[in-house]
Amino acid sequence: INFAHPDDSGIYLCMALQESSSRVTISVVSLAVKPQSPTIITRVSQQIHLDCQSVLLDYVYKDLTQRWEKNNAVWKDYGYTTLTAVTTEQITYVNYTHAGEWKCTVSQPDLGFKWTTNWLLIQVKHAPNILTHLMEDPPAAYLFKNFKNEIYVLSFLIGILTVTVFLVAVGVFVYLRWCQLKSRK
């Protein structure tokens, strides 16, 4: 694989299909691409799913263990498990402690095999507010996504509000003057 990206991480199998419709595994390769930039960007209070991308190992080996490491420390160890049951880790409420480098490792202790099947870099931003929703939610993001941060969005909204109030005031003033001139005739 040339020019691998984090999305390419996972287990690759080379299998031969025999005439009897049985399959023979020829090779098992694990690819975990270390990301140079965040692969998941989320906010405090949001929910994320971490995919181990290791399910194929269940079809080749038995008695597998799986664990997630965060910044080279064990975050969750499933012990001996069926990988299809624990392939995705769900974090229901993200906080700043979830930021960092995450790795999913699977091992077969009896054979001494160990695979790193996914490598993620998680960035956690502050909790969402109305301004970040304007920048990130699809309908409003069409207008606000190119603003660098919430200060620019707030400045833009204050500017629009000021112009609107000014135009309404001018309209009311012109209308009242027109009513005065009409009543004098």
- Give the DSSP letter string of 85-123: GSSEEEESS--GGG-EEEEEEEEETTTTEEEEEEEEEEE
Encode pLDDT of 146-182 as tens digits. Answer: 898 889 999 999 999 999 999 999 999 999 999 888 8
86 burial level (CB within 10 Å; 0-12, 13-18, 19+)? middle
Lowest mean pLDDT segment, chosen from 14-28, 42-56, 147-161: 14-28
CATH architecture of 6-125: Sandwich (2.60)
Q: Span 12-33, mean pLDDT?
A: 89
* pLDDT for residue 135: 87
Encode pLDDT of 102-153 as tens digits. Answer: 999 999 999 999 999 999 999 999 988 888 888 888 888 888 888 988 899 9
Task: Output the pTM of the full model.
Answer: 0.76
Domain boundaries, the chain: 6-125, 130-184
Encode pLDDT of 85-110 as tens digits. Answer: 998 999 999 999 999 999 999 999 99
Spatial separation of the C-alpha atoms in residues 110 and 107, rounded to whole Å: 9
